[in-house]
Amino acid sequence: MALSLTMEKLKLNPESNIKNVIAVMSGKGGVGKSSVSGMLATSLKQKGFEVGILDADITGPSIPKMFGLRQSLISDGGKILPPKTETGIKVVSINLILENEDDPVIWRAPILNNTITQFWQDIAWGDLDYLVIDMPPGTGDVSITVLGMLPVTGILMVSSPQELAQMVVRKALKMGEKMGISILGLVENMSYAICPNCNEKHEIFGPSKGKELAEMFEIEFFGSLPLDPKLSELTDLGKIESYALPKDLDLANLVDTAVKNLA
Amino acid sequence: MALSLTMEKLKLNPESNIKNVIAVMSGKGGVGKSSVSGMLATSLKQKGFEVGILDADITGPSIPKMFGLRQSLISDGGKILPPKTETGIKVVSINLILENEDDPVIWRAPILNNTITQFWQDIAWGDLDYLVIDMPPGTGDVSITVLGMLPVTGILMVSSPQELAQMVVRKALKMGEKMGISILGLVENMSYAICPNCNEKHEIFGPSKGKELAEMFEIEFFGSLPLDPKLSELTDLGKIESYALPKDLDLANLVDTAVKNLA
């Protein structure tokens, strides 16, 4: 409990210039944090920004598979370069280093933390407008390292309508507050499902609570995402960049505006 | 990476006698590991076993809420007793100690690990036939502590049909193997949803892959659970003990038989 909430922020290498760092966080696993990270990065890239993703979920990394990335990190004259997705997003993830994508990473926290700081310090990221960090679930050791040691501009919080998820998301929101990181806004995922047969919307995880939760914490509610079999299919195929966000949820614009409002 | 996979197992206190320890694990968060833990414990208790749950998901604890437990741990003449659920399951969770259920636990790994070992060593569990451990997501520090330092009888693995979840579950299966813990069997959760309108079954996370995954690892496939709005509702209300498992999935019997087959 002797946790110092103010840590010295790590510096980047001369090969990297990152303007904004967005941590995508949910507290709870499985609410679709990784797919929201992927959609945010895709959406920012489509707007013309230079974008990278740092996959901080070291023991459950999902990003490379979603983007169909199989290439390893690239070593070039002493520099380590991140591979690029189809639309040009730079990605760093432990699963780009492991021999088999399903090899487990059975590491104690100091080694997990070292991996995060190496991803930040030792990768030649180049010029990025946005680095999206896919956070691990929970408010534990690796989350503390990311929020404490990297210069995070703001948090994009992801919730789902289940009461249980709400409780855990509230923990993450309080963690952000305690660590002095701004919450840019909240996206509710899995808000409803559309029956492929009768086409009706069903709130299978219970009634939407995103707006209410955002009001409670006085943060912006960005909108809702459905539980969409099309998204599962595309992420499984490594084609998340082909997924079209609902028209009323322009993630890139919402996040970019929130970041500009911070300044 | 200098990980010793053989650790000395921790001894229990004289107030506790626990016959079997079942770790419910998924690797990935949000596949319903906690609700499967709750259903397994409920099902074992209904069969007449003495049952406890140790909630090892310290930063995202769900168990107390699912069972509607608000009582704190009970201190009785130097002993710490776990509160009991409606049907008499003993529960220990960090959320029974926190002042507010949504207070975040922003702790580095050694403190998280200490909490786990204290839950094991300092609680007067009494006589239990089964202690069900709700594992955190991932194969990181706390998972290493539970599988390495507690005498786990076997792992009940929980997957979901998404390809991504499969990959992460394979990591957890390999972790179990590497640490020499038997896998009792696999349950696939969220295999399908039943439309409340047209009553049709829909595989919203893609086609079921549980059986295939179980065959790949030569473990037993216990069966599938639907994505059931009724379950979300009951867990949100703290009434998971009222949920009826599908008739073809007698979790208590499957696990108890698998444990007997180990001996």
Q: What is the CATH number of the domain that holds B32?
A: 3.40.50.300
- CA dist., res. B20 & res. B52, Å (int): 10
Mutate to test the interface with B, among A5, A112, A167, A208 (most CBs of B within 10 A): A167
Please give, one letter per residue, the 3-state secondary structure of chain A: CCCCCCCCCCCCCCCEEEEEEEEEECCCCCCCHHHHHHHHHHHHHHCCCCEEEEECCCCCCCHHHHCCCCCCCEEECCEEECCECCCCCEEECHHHCCCCCCCCCCCCHHHHHHHHHHHHHCECCEEEEEEEEECCCCCCHHHHHHHHHCCCCEEEEEECCCHHHHHHHHHHHHHHHHCCCCEEEEEECCCCEECCCCCCEECCCCCCCHHHHHHHCCCCEEEECCECHHHHHHHHCCCHHHCCCCCCCCHHHHHHHHHHHHC
Q: Could you tell me the CA-to-CA distances from B215 to B31, B57, B60, B156, B186 in Å, in that order?
A: 20, 28, 31, 15, 10
Q: Is A193's CB within 8 Å of B193's CB?
A: yes
Q: What percent of chain B has pLDDT over 90?
A: 83
Contact B235 A164 (CB under 8 A): yes
The number of helices, as runs of H, and strands, as runs of E, in chain B is 8, 11
Contact A27 B229 (CB under 8 A): no
Chain B contact present for A27, CB below 8 A: yes
Can you say whether the dihedral through the CA atoms of A26, A31, A34, A37 is positive or negative? Answer: negative
CA nearest to B59, candidates B98, B107, B27: B107
Beta-carbon contacts of A212 under 8 Å, excluding residues fewer than 6 positions away, are: none
| Cβ contact A105–B140 (<8 Å) | yes
CA distance B66 to chain A (A): 8
Residue in A181, A125, A179, A177 with CA at minimum distance from that of residue A152: A181
Q: Using CA atoms, how far apart are residues A246 and B118, in angstroms rounded to an integer?
A: 47
- CB count within 10 Å of CB A98 equals 16
Domain count within chain B: 1
Top-confidence residue, A75 or A254: A254
Residues of A in Cβ contact (< 8 Å) with B140: 58-59, 105-109, 112, 136, 141-142
Could you give the 3-state DSSP secondary structure of residue B98? coil
Q: Which residues of A touch B107 (CB under 8 A)?
A: 1, 3, 140-141
| pLDDT band of B5, cuts 50, 70, 90 | low
Does A101 reach chain B within 8 Å, measured CB to CB? yes
Residue A45 confidence (pLDDT) above 90: yes
- Whether A213 has its CB under 8 Å from any CB of chain B: the answer is no
- Asked whether the predicted pLDDT for residue B27 surpasses 90, the reply is no
Residue B186 and residue B135: Cα distance in Å, rounded? Answer: 15
- Going by C-alpha positions, the residue among B126, B65, B75 that lies closest to residue B100 is B65
Residue A150 is assigned to a structural domain of this protein = yes
Query: Which pLDDT value is given to residue A194?
Result: 82
pLDDT tier, A2 (very low <50, low <70, confident <90, very high otherwise):
very low
Residue B12 domain-assigned (yes or no) = no
pLDDT for A29 equals: 87
Of A30, A66, A109, the CB nearest to B140: A109
For residues A17 and A128, is the Cβ–Cβ distance under 8 A? yes
Q: Quick check: B106 pLDDT over 80? A: yes
Please state, as a whole number, how many other Cβ atoms lie within 10 Å of the Cβ of residue B218.
7
B32: which 2 tokens? 């319903």
For residues B242 and B232, what is the distance between their CA atoms, to the nearest angstrom? 12
A260 alpha carbon, distance to own chain's centre: 19
What is the model's pLDDT at position B40? 98
Residue B193 confidence (pLDDT): 87
**Does residue B129 sit within a domain?**
yes
Strand intervals (E) in B61-153: 74-76, 79-81, 90-92, 126-134
Q: Which residues of B touch A144 (CB under 8 A)?
A: 106, 108
Which chain A residue is nearest to residue B233, measuring alpha carbons? A206
Hey, is the C-beta of A12 within 8 angstroms of any chain B C-beta? no
Q: Is residue A13 in a domain?
A: no
Q: Are B255 and B44 in contact (CB under 8 A)?
A: yes
Mean pLDDT of chain B: 93
Mean pLDDT to the nearest integer, B72-97 = 95
Q: Closest to A139 (Cβ–Cβ): which among B29, B105, B179?
A: B105
Which uninterrupted H or E stretch holds B168? helix B163-178
Whether A46 is in a domain gets the answer: yes
- Per-residue pLDDT band for B204 (boundaries 50, 70, 90) equals confident
Burial (CB count within 10 angstroms: exposed 0-12, middle 13-18, buried 19+), residue B15: middle
Report the gap between the CA of A125 and the closest CA in chain B (Å).
Answer: 26
Q: Chain A contacts of B167, Cβ < 8 Å?
A: 62, 65, 101-102
- Report yes or no on A209 lying in a domain: yes
How many angstroms from the chain centroid is the CA of residue B253? 16
For the cut 90, the answer to whether the pLDDT of residue B45 exceeds it is: yes
Could you list the residue range(s) of the whole structural domain that residue B170 is in? 20-262
| Mean of per-residue pLDDT scores for chain A | 94
| C-alpha span between A218 and B140 (Å, rounded) | 33
Query: Residues 126 to 185 of B: which have CB under 8 A from any A CB?
Result: 136-144, 162-165, 167-168, 170-172, 174-175, 178-179
Residues of A in contact with B136 (CB under 8 A): 137-138, 140
The answer to whether A4 and A180 are in contact (CB under 8 A) is no
Measured between CA atoms, the residue of chain B closest to residue A108 is: B141
B7 within domain boundaries:
no
Answer whether residue B1 shows pLDDT above 50: no
Specify the DSSP element, H or E, that contains B17.
strand B16-25
Average pLDDT over residues A76-81: 89
Chain A interface includes B111 (CB < 8 A): yes
Indicate whether A207 belongs to any domain.
yes
Check if the beta carbon of residue A245 is closer than 8 Å to that of residue A251: yes
**How much is the average pLDDT of B228-254?**
94
